[in-house]
Chain A
């Protein structure tokens, strides 16, 4: 009888075979995994070093200090053939950021317009927007880049027969020529005044918001804030006598001199990136707008909010919650897709660094690692920001 008393709970359980212990198995499995990974890496590193030695390619990052010896057709910072490979990296990075920033601006603009048009009660407009989306998102981006570059921009007339707009803007085979703003004496003052005006307007609006929260009155300050932001710099402009000149592009010999030049590679890549990404953004915007239930709009109307207030205070904040995360990932896609530049010779990071620099130095491992590190860093920073944003706007449910 006594031996039928159940074992107390803290008595050691019946001995199992050690390989049936899940914790031990997990440990062993992970150790094995680590071992395999390390062994693989060791083999790869060994092979690589041997191959590099055989081909007489040096290792390390000393090449960044060497003279590059090649020119780049678009540089945002001072650069010449005697600059270093490190400088090449910087030029490429800036060019990537330039086309990405331009692309994001235009893609957002087109994307929002098309997305709203897609939901228009106007049947024809909605269909046209749908056509845009279905055409441009189902054709490979590289094909679109090629189309704009080789089929459209290459078919433009030469400099002497440029398409022109008021003798100030010229478009030809070699690019788009725009007037370049030239700040003169006193321009810094106007900029300072503009900043001052904006700060003052912001303070005014902040005061209005605090007052609304405190008293419930809604002071109509928007127009005063706008006036403040506009008149202060305008006054400074008049006082300093309009200190901004324009340098117009002029045809000299066979080409245009002066002014601001957008090279055709930039235009083609910019257009293709913006038009392609806009198709995806349009769908995101549409989904965002549709995600706000109709009851929200009706509730806002029932509260007596005006149409503008309903949009600004009720619909848009809720739609943004749905729109922003996929929108950010589209922006990241655009940044990554800007590497297609290399196919048409726009001097972005991949083209001048992972392309030309790699060919000249042969140091594939270092160059590719640096290139990937740039994209990785940007992606990680953006996704950290995104996580922070998501946590901030997440629905607080009871």
Chain B
């Protein structure tokens, strides 16, 4: 009896128009008249723009060669980029010394990569090495002047390398300063609080360009006359002071999200201010705002391009400068696309990683 009942309950297959490719198409692209119209408009848009672009950028493009004479097929002239790739990556850093840049980069990757692996056990030691040892090591590598490494003046630095140096120095120095400012803004002491608020609001209100102008024309006036400060260092001072204000607001968000009980518990344990902040509050608050810190870093990474206005040659600056070469006039589109792609790849990659980490953290706190 029961066997018979089971045999009658054979489910019908859904109609062919509801499943598979056809079902998906009907549901997502042609569900109504308006939707169909939108799909057609979008398809037309793609048909108009994509094939010509692909033909220009890939099919008809010239990749190999040494001069503009090799660009004959009428498409994009990537030769412009390939012949200058070294300059775009290292600026005017001497060819014989470029291994130092590579070494500093590899060292960074070697130190950071294990941190991204969740199960890696010695994170604390590694983090300390990264924060305390790496800046010194990379300074010695890039600038030189010790261990028999010849000095490479900063005006020779440029390209992607300079972009990365500015962005990394900016974030590494802005973070502690930002933490201090955020703590200051939430301090019980009125003078400290007022000073922190004034600092944060002032820097956040003005554009980075004015800050860089200030760093390049006003900062020399602030120092004693016989003291000259390197242009790159001045730009970095400006960027760090500027970025610290944004970082402070990000960290403040984390501090505010920590429940009051945590502060009270730390106090009840008899911890003083610095120990309760350093051991109880900040470790939790900073973990909460990792996505915010990453976003600040992405913004900073894009903002480093502004240093070209005060005469430093970051990636965009050096590409822009290459257009002025009379032997290569008229290849600006290729140059901008290359620089744009590099920036895009970095920013997109970092933001995707940050989103993944955010999901991970949420899952970790979910139970």
Residues of A within 8 A of B (CB): 26, 29-30, 33-34, 37, 44, 47-48, 50-52, 54, 120-125, 128, 134-135, 138-144, 146-147, 150-151, 154, 336-337, 339-340, 342-343, 350, 354-355, 358, 364-365, 368, 371-372, 375-376, 378-380
The answer to whether A142 touches B343 (Cβ under 8 A) is no
The answer to whether B213 touches A123 (Cβ under 8 A) is no
Distance in angstroms between the alpha carbons of A146 and B320 in the assembled complex: 9
The answer to whether A343 touches B348 (Cβ under 8 A) is no
Within 8 A of A (CB), among B175-209: 188-192, 195, 201-202, 204-209
Shortest CB–CB separation between residue B219 and chain A, in angstroms?
A: 10
Q: What residues of A have a CB within 8 angstroms of the CB of B190 in the complex?
A: 30
Distance in angstroms between the alpha carbons of A371 and B45 in the assembled complex: 43
Q: Given A30-B191, A47-B222, A368-B218: A354 and B336 within 8 A (CB)?
A: no
Top 10 nearest A-B pairs (CB, nearest first) are A379-B205, A123-B28, A138-B347, A336-B207, A30-B191, A140-B302, A339-B207, A140-B305, A376-B205, A142-B305
The interface stretch among B35-43, B101-109, B124-132, B356-364 is: B35-43
Shortest CB–CB separation between residue A28 and chain B, in angstroms?
A: 10
The answer to whether A364 touches B195 (Cβ under 8 A) is no
B43 contacts which of A37, A50, A124, A138 (Cβ < 8 Å)?
A124
Q: What residues of A have a CB within 8 angstroms of the CB of B316 in the complex?
A: 140, 142-143, 146
Q: What does DSSP make chain A's interface, helix, strand, loop or mixed?
A: helix
Q: What residues of B have a CB within 8 angstroms of the CB of A365 in the complex?
A: 218, 221
Distance in angstroms between the alpha carbons of A342 and B42 in the assembled complex: 37
Check B95 for interface membership: any CB of A closer than 8 A: no
Name 22 A/B residue pairs within 8 A (Cβ), A-sorted.
Answer: A29-B189, A30-B191, A47-B221, A50-B224, A51-B225, A122-B35, A124-B39, A125-B42, A128-B45, A140-B305, A142-B305, A142-B316, A143-B339, A144-B340, A146-B320, A151-B336, A336-B207, A350-B207, A355-B213, A364-B221, A368-B213, A371-B206
Q: What residues of A have a CB within 8 angstroms of the CB of B201 in the complex?
A: 379-380
A343 contacts which of B39, B43, B308, B343 (Cβ < 8 Å)?
B308
8 additional contacts (CB under 8 A) given A33-B191, A147-B336 = A128-B42, A128-B45, A139-B343, A142-B308, A339-B209, A343-B308, A368-B213, A378-B205
Q: What residues of A have a CB within 8 angstroms of the CB of B46 in the complex?
A: 128
Q: Given A33-B192, A51-B225, A142-B308: A376 and B206 within 8 A (CB)?
A: yes
- A123 nearest CB neighbor, chain B only: B28
Residues of B within 8 A of A (CB): 28-29, 31, 35, 38-39, 42-43, 45-46, 188-192, 195, 201-202, 204-210, 213-214, 217-218, 220-225, 298, 302-303, 305-306, 308-309, 316, 320, 323, 332-333, 336, 339-340, 343-344, 347-348, 351
Q: What residues of A have a CB within 8 angstroms of the CB of B306 in the complex?
A: 142, 340
A140 contacts which of B28, B303, B309, B351 (Cβ < 8 Å)?
B303
The answer to whether B35 touches A121 (Cβ under 8 A) is yes
Distance in angstroms between the alpha carbons of A125 and B169 in the assembled complex: 40
- A138 nearest CB neighbor, chain B only: B347
B210 contacts which of A29, A122, A146, A350 (Cβ < 8 Å)?
A350
Q: What residues of A have a CB within 8 angstroms of the CB of B225 in the complex?
A: 47, 50-51, 54
Q: What residues of B have a CB within 8 angstroms of the CB of A123 in the complex?
A: 28-29
Distance in angstroms between the alpha carbons of A151 and B28 in the assembled complex: 37
Distance in angstroms between the alpha carbons of A355 and B216 in the assembled complex: 12
Shortest CB–CB separation between residue A357 and chain B, in angstroms?
A: 12
Shortest CB–CB separation between residue B160 and chain A, in angstroms?
A: 13
The answer to whether B210 touches A372 (Cβ under 8 A) is yes
Q: Given A143-B343, A339-B210: A138 and B348 within 8 A (CB)?
A: yes
The answer to whether B221 touches A51 (Cβ under 8 A) is yes
- B340 nearest CB neighbor, chain A only: A139
The answer to whether B217 touches A364 (Cβ under 8 A) is yes
Distance in angstroms between the alpha carbons of A134 and B351 in the assembled complex: 10
Shortest CB–CB separation between residue A205 and chain B, in angstroms?
A: 30
Q: What residues of A have a CB within 8 angstroms of the CB of B339 in the complex?
A: 143
Q: What residues of A have a CB within 8 angstroms of the CB of B222 in the complex?
A: 44, 47-48
Q: What residues of A have a CB within 8 angstroms of the CB of B308 in the complex?
A: 142, 343
B213 contacts which of A26, A51, A151, A350 (Cβ < 8 Å)?
A350
Shortest CB–CB separation between residue A255 and chain B, in angstroms?
A: 24
Q: What residues of A have a CB within 8 angstroms of the CB of B191 in the complex?
A: 30, 33-34
The answer to whether A47 touches B207 (Cβ under 8 A) is no
Q: What residues of A have a CB within 8 angstroms of the CB of B223 in the complex?
A: 47
Q: What residues of A have a CB within 8 angstroms of the CB of B320 in the complex?
A: 146, 150
Chain B CB count within 10 A is highest, among A37, A135, A138, A141, for A138
The answer to whether A122 touches B195 (Cβ under 8 A) is no
Q: Given A51-B220, A379-B205: A151 and B340 within 8 A (CB)?
A: no
Q: What residues of A have a CB within 8 angstroms of the CB of B205 in the complex?
A: 372, 375-376, 378-380
Q: Given A34-B191, A125-B39, A134-B348: A350 and B209 within 8 A (CB)?
A: yes
- B205 nearest CB neighbor, chain A only: A379
- B193 nearest CB neighbor, chain A only: A30
Shortest CB–CB separation between residue A105 and chain B, in angstroms?
A: 20
Distance in angstroms between the alpha carbons of A33 and B210 in the assembled complex: 27
Distance in angstroms between the alpha carbons of A125 and B30 in the assembled complex: 12
Distance in angstroms between the alpha carbons of A328 and B37 in the assembled complex: 34
The answer to whether A147 touches B323 (Cβ under 8 A) is no
Shortest CB–CB separation between residue A344 and chain B, in angstroms?
A: 11
Distance in angstroms between the alpha carbons of A59 and B224 in the assembled complex: 18
Q: Given A140-B316, A151-B332, A380-B205: A368 and B39 within 8 A (CB)?
A: no
Distance in angstroms between the alpha carbons of A375 and B204 in the assembled complex: 10
- B304 nearest CB neighbor, chain A only: A140
Q: What residues of B have a CB within 8 angstroms of the CB of A336 in the complex?
A: 206-208
Shortest CB–CB separation between residue A251 and chain B, in angstroms?
A: 26
- A37 nearest CB neighbor, chain B only: B195
